[in-house]
Structure 1
């Protein structure tokens, strides 16, 4: 009974949904050409082809009936089982979205655009800035050369270069550096190095000198930063590690300022001198102090080794 009612509903609809596969199957089974069917229905062969390929989801019931007559089958045999289209809905356009839906679509579009911009920025900005750590001695004497090393760790394959800047304490001047200082005034107190991109660690070594007439017992401070260039964005990171040196009657290799260089201090001093060859460090004096019983420093005569 229900099936009979469904068929009646389909037949009473102004437009009906046809099943192209069924139409083709019936036509070929009866050995009818598309031209013959088109002439009977009063349409072109292209229209018949589109119907058979389900290009039209629904057609007028009148044309569907003519098609069924041409195929010599009941109309219901060429209709889709699940679909009928009422007259007032046939060919109707979808209603426009509601204002609320329109607002949500706009917000979604803006969020997607913002996400895309963030992805672009992150892609062009380094995920992690290089980490720079400074080493410098805790003590140094006026007029003597003071070694400084900055080691920079970078991520493997980092494509971004960086600028290292160092500001020496007032009165101090650069002696030499490896690599060479890029600043306009090589002997000035403002130092710069331009380092290209790459993932390998970088070591920048330089030596500075305190003026001979310098207040002893005073702590002086070195400041530095890394300026990282990544696409359109710049990032600045402060150089970590040691930053202060106490000026007094000490050798820089005397790490605890006790007037001697012991076994615990000689090896670090050796490595520093080896890595900073050509920067004005005097290894022979360090070795002599280590071999002796200590040292004294005098502003006029410098270091005297105690035997």
Structure 2
């Protein structure tokens, strides 16, 4: 049969510590609770694990604390605390590490994204013959590589040498005074090709001197610096066909293939590949200055 008296279990260690902190004697506490000093001594030695709840309340009042502050943690609960606390701490540690890793990943993503948006890679390479005949058209191709995180437009300008003018361009360029071309490309980053057919006429003041071509690229970004076109930039006026790279009055197999690879694949430019093929099929050629034509030697 269960007793109807409420019982509590106090911690003798806590009771003794609180009493000594306040410089209270066992006699004072015993008098306040209504028990003997021997009873208080037994409680502090934990020889009496349980006591009436009424006495527990009086004991707490004597020590100026609440009853819950002097209650002992049951052994079963203490084991649970010891068992759960390390796991809980480990879980919190893992969550903390995971949160920091996630935060670091987000920061790196934004850093890479914003840096890539500011990175500009812009370059251009010009391909053109090393020589041509005065008054005879020849092709020029400029390949542009444009990489940027921003969707910017591109401005390409090409200045031909004095005495040279544009015959055709692809894509269609704005031509100023016959020898200055401008393209505006609004398609954004990517690879693209600008090409044109030019014709240069010999002038007394530049006779035997190479003719120079210059080109620049500009993209609207913070630096606003123009990029110079690389590659071949000069051409000489000689009595050799522009496809005859070794200037021996013969267009051989390698030279024919070079024309196909460097200029023949540009759609819509109108490179006179048929003329090159005709010379290639003959045994040679010579330039007729009076008629301004190439005589093909069978």
Bin of the TM-score, shorter chain as denominator length: 0.5 to 0.7
Match of 2:119 in 1: 127
Match of 1:85 in 2: none
Match of 2:180 in 1: 190
Alignment of 1:173 onto 2:165: yes
- C-alpha distance in 2, partners of 1:306/1:241? 33
Q: Deviations over 1:232-267 (max 9, x none)?
A: 542321111111112111111112222211000001
How has the CA–CA distance of structure 1 residues 238 and 77 changed in structure 2, closer, same or farther, with 3 Å as cutoff?
farther
User: What stretches of structure 1 of length at least 5 have no aligned partner?
Assistant: 10-29, 31-67, 81-118
- C-alpha distance in 2, partners of 1:138/1:239? 16
Q: Deviations over 1:56-99 (max 9, x none)?
A: xxxxxxxxxxxx99x94734559x9xxxxxxxxxxxxxxxxxxx
Match of 1:147 in 2: 139
Asked if the contact 2:126/2:140 (under 8 Å) is kept, the reply is yes
- C-alpha distance in 1, partners of 2:265/2:252? 20
- Could you state the TM-score of these two structures normalised by the residue count of structure 1? 0.57
Asked if the contact 2:138/2:198 (under 8 Å) is kept, the reply is yes
- C-alpha distance in 1, partners of 2:20/2:283? 114
User: What stretches of structure 2 of length at least 5 have no aligned partner?
Assistant: 1-15, 24-52, 70-110
- C-alpha distance in 2, partners of 1:199/1:137? 28
Q: Deviations over 1:121-176 (max 9, x none)?
A: x6596413222111011111100112100111233876222111111111111111
Asked if the contact 1:176/1:279 (under 8 Å) is kept, the reply is yes
Residue 164 of structure 1 is aligned with which of 156, 175, 186? Answer: 156
Match of 1:229 in 2: 220
Using the TM superposition, give the Cα deviation of residue 295 of structure 1 relative to its aligned residue in structure 2, in angstroms.
Answer: 1.5
Using the TM superposition, give the Cα deviation of residue 218 of structure 1 relative to its aligned residue in structure 2, in angstroms.
Answer: 2.2
- C-alpha distance in 2, partners of 1:239/1:141? 24
Asked if the contact 2:120/2:149 (under 8 Å) is kept, the reply is no
Asked if the contact 2:148/2:189 (under 8 Å) is kept, the reply is yes
Asked if the contact 1:168/1:222 (under 8 Å) is kept, the reply is yes
How has the CA–CA distance of structure 1 residues 74 and 8 changed in structure 2, closer, same or farther, with 3 Å as cutoff?
closer
Match of 2:4 in 1: none
RMSD between superposed Cα atoms in Å: 3.7
Residue 254 of structure 1 is aligned with which of 218, 241, 244? Answer: 244
Rg: which structure is higher?
2
Using the TM superposition, give the Cα deviation of residue 278 of structure 1 relative to its aligned residue in structure 2, in angstroms.
Answer: 4.8
- C-alpha distance in 2, partners of 1:191/1:6? 99
How has the CA–CA distance of structure 1 residues 216 and 290 changed in structure 2, closer, same or farther, with 3 Å as cutoff?
farther
Using the TM superposition, give the Cα deviation of residue 213 of structure 1 relative to its aligned residue in structure 2, in angstroms.
Answer: 5.1
- C-alpha distance in 2, partners of 1:137/1:295? 18
Asked if the contact 1:218/1:248 (under 8 Å) is kept, the reply is no
How has the CA–CA distance of structure 1 residues 6 and 164 changed in structure 2, closer, same or farther, with 3 Å as cutoff?
farther
- Residue-pair matches, total: 209
